[in-house]
Amino acid sequence: MTLHNPALQAIMDKVIARNPGEPEFHQAVSEVLTSLEPVVERRPEFITRGVIEELVEPERIIKFRVPWVDDAGNVQVNRGFRVQFNSAIGPYKGGLRFHPSVYEGIIKFLGFEQIFKNSLTGLPIGGGKGGSDFDPKGKSDAEVMRFCQSFMTELCRHIGADVDVPAGDIGVGAREIGYLFGQYKRIRNEYTGVLTGKGLTYGGSLARKEATGYGLCYISDEMLRDQGDSFEGKTVVISGSGNVAIYACEKATSLGATVVALSDSNGYIYDPKGIDLAAVKKIKEVERKRIKEYLVYRPDATYTEGCSGIWSIPCDIALPCATQNEISEESAKLLVSNGVKAVAEGANMPSTPGAIQAFQSAGVLFGPAKAANAGGVATSALEMSQNSMRLSWTFEEVDEKLHGIMRNIYHNAAKAASDYGMAGNLVAGANIAGFLKVGESMLAYGVC
């Protein structure tokens, strides 16, 4: 896509030239720069004083070797990353992803998006992201522990409660956070809130596990209510069956909707009577098995190999909660022709640019990831606050704060969109509202 502002286009060209072979990062930057066109028209100093050019360059990239020994006694070597993208409004904050597809470009795209998402929460957190090409799937607990300990042995030099606070993401859940925190504590001899998503017995926050999925439904509900609608009686399709998908399913169901499908990277289940979430939690959270196992609990449901077919199921609301670029333009058009009314992104960048275009031009309510899945990081920031105060809030207190934050995010993004002449476009609104706080802070710091 060509940008109208030549200075923004020059920055985009430089991003592509400097970061070759990183299409996900280019895609994320291009979307934000497109949204910022009307902002720099009104506030050219964001260009002339170098803010945008600094914004697209990470403050620091750490890349390291992660050697570990598997159960057969063989040495395995993975690659670890931490991208400390922007600390203008607080310590770097963002998850760790363990998945074979991880490379520098994925971590950069996620770290870049995190800047705006974290700003949108209204809390003092900068943007960062990390991970490894390690695949926890099929590994024993002992192997996962040895990998996590080796990963943290290097990472611990670069993070800290007031410096950089990682959390979970794909492939990094409660088990991995436990191993990572234990190793940090052991090497650094300090007990601080250096990671979020911790277990409840060692500094974790109630409602953190549920936060991304619940937050996704809270903001979707607010978006629907603004149009005089709600989740009540709606049919919902959710992709993925991990942390975000499971708790989105739980909250959507409690708001009166029927969730009829979930997936994993092998295939999807369709259960028109409504997903039996207790069965899914057992399969995914306890047994760590494939979603196909669902048929053992619900023989009347169907299982189909391949994940993209999930978008052919007719629904009122679609919540992509698996991974980036999982909804193609074709899938989006299929959803539209099957009558979808609202789409909100639980995963990061799950819709391709063509898919977003298809939703927006059909008038589908569209909640972009930066706004829609910000509940996870917002609650992580609440975990940091509790750790600093050495206090714990109740589930209800955290959940209520989360609900308020998600409502604010929706209204701030909607207002920014309308202030800049793009009423109803939450993609632009979230990018603009997220950027302004970071951009103003960067202006205040001068060139640095």
Could you list the residues that contact ligand NDP (CB under 6 A)? 168-171, 173, 212, 240-245, 264-266, 307, 321-323, 346-348, 373, 376
**Least separation in angstroms between CB 202 and ligand NDP:** 18
**Which residue, judged by CB position, is nearest to ligand NDP in the bound state?**
242
- Three-state DSSP class for 360? helix
**Rounded CA gap, 103 and 105, in Å?**
6
Q: What angle do CA 176, 181, 183 make, to 5 degrees?
A: 100
Between 38 and 303, CB nearer to ligand NDP = 303
Which residue lies nearer to ligand NDP by CB, 34 or 241? 241
Write down the least CB distance from residue 182 to ligand NDP, Å: 20
Beta carbons of 386 and 163 less than 8 angstroms apart = no
129 has catalytic annotation: yes
Amino acid identity for residue 343 in this structure: V
Query: What is the token pair recorded at 432?
Result: 């603009």
Q: Are 373 and 347 in contact (CB under 8 A)?
A: yes
Q: Which is nearer to ligand NDP, 29 or 262 (CB)?
A: 262
SS3 content of the chain, % helix, strand, coil (to 5): 50, 15, 35
Q: CB of residue 372 vs ligand NDP: minimum separation in angstroms? A: 9
Least CB distance from residue 102 to ligand NDP, whole Å? 10
Query: What's the min distance (Å) between Cβ of 150 and ligand NDP?
Result: 20
Q: Count Cα neighbours of 223 within 13 Å in the Cβ-side half-sphere.
A: 27
DSSP state of 172: B
Nearer of residues 12 and 321 to ligand NDP, judged by Cβ = 321
Question: Toward ligand NDP, which CB reaches closer, 51 or 167?
Answer: 167
Residue 375 CB, nearest distance to ligand NDP (Å)? Answer: 8
Any residues with CB less than 8 A from the CB of 10 and at least 6 apart, and which? Answer: none
At 243 the three-state DSSP class reads helix
CB proximity list for 57: less than 8 A, separation 6 or greater: none
Cβ neighbours of 273 (radius 10 Å): 10
The span from the CA of 176 to the CA of 61, in Å, is 22
Q: What are phi and psi of 120, to 5 degrees?
A: -60, -30
Closest CB to ligand NDP among residues 5, 323:
323
Which of 108, 117, 129, 198 is an active site residue? 129
Provide the annotated active-site residues.
129
